[in-house]
Amino acid sequence: ELAVKDNQAVNAVDVLLRIDPRPYEQTLAMAIASLRALEGKIELTQRLNEAQRYTADAAKASIEEAAAAVNMAAKTLKRVEPLLGQGYVSIEQVDQARTSLQAAKAQQAAAIFAAQSATYAVGDVEALKARRDAALAEVALAEINLEHTTVRAPFAGRVIGLKTTTGHFAAAGVPLFV
């Protein structure tokens, strides 16, 4: 939309022309939607990370529990084995104590692996936050581009050499008038 005529006097900040703002409005709307979606993802990731930290802490506690079970099973075996030779316990009881110790060690190893897995599962929100900075920049750029759809006179003067009319396409770097 051309708001001036050839040889027309204009004051500073008078509207010279308007470019169709609809594509720029849509670009801005998309940038804002992307930013909101990313912020939602950041919030969800932070919640998931908190839950994963609790899981990791619980897994670490199970390591201590498994270590206590290994310690108890080892002590039981150490007490029971000498009693076998004296006939106070059966071979089956000693075998049960050995099996209990092996099972406790296996549970301890499983608890260690579970804790490591839970610790590694805790995600990193920093990459998403960096993407949020980029999304904020995209919103700011879209706002600037939308503002530039209205071209105003930078100073008072006279329009001369008008080379276009309303409805024509404007191209970057191609002068429409002086």
- Six-digit token string for 164: 């276009």
Question: Rounded to an integer, what is the distance from CA 23 to the centroid of its chain?
Answer: 28
Please report the pLDDT score of residue 121 as a whole number.
Answer: 67
Residue 122: count of CB within 10 angstroms of its CB: 15
Please report the pLDDT score of residue 50 as a whole number.
Answer: 85
Give, in degrees to the nearest 5, the angle at Cα 116 between 67 and 121: 145
Low-confidence ranges of the chain (pLDDT < 50): none
**Predicted TM-score of the model (pTM):** 0.62
- Bridge partner list, 151: 17
If you search the block for the tokens 């990731």, which residue do you land on? Answer: 45
* Per-residue CA distances from 14 to 144, 147, 177 (Å): 19, 14, 15
Please report the pLDDT score of residue 119 as a whole number.
Answer: 75
If you search the block for the tokens 């022309």, which residue do you land on? Answer: 17
Please report the pLDDT score of residue 4 as a whole number.
Answer: 94
* Phi, psi (degrees; rounded to nearest 5) at 158: -130, 135
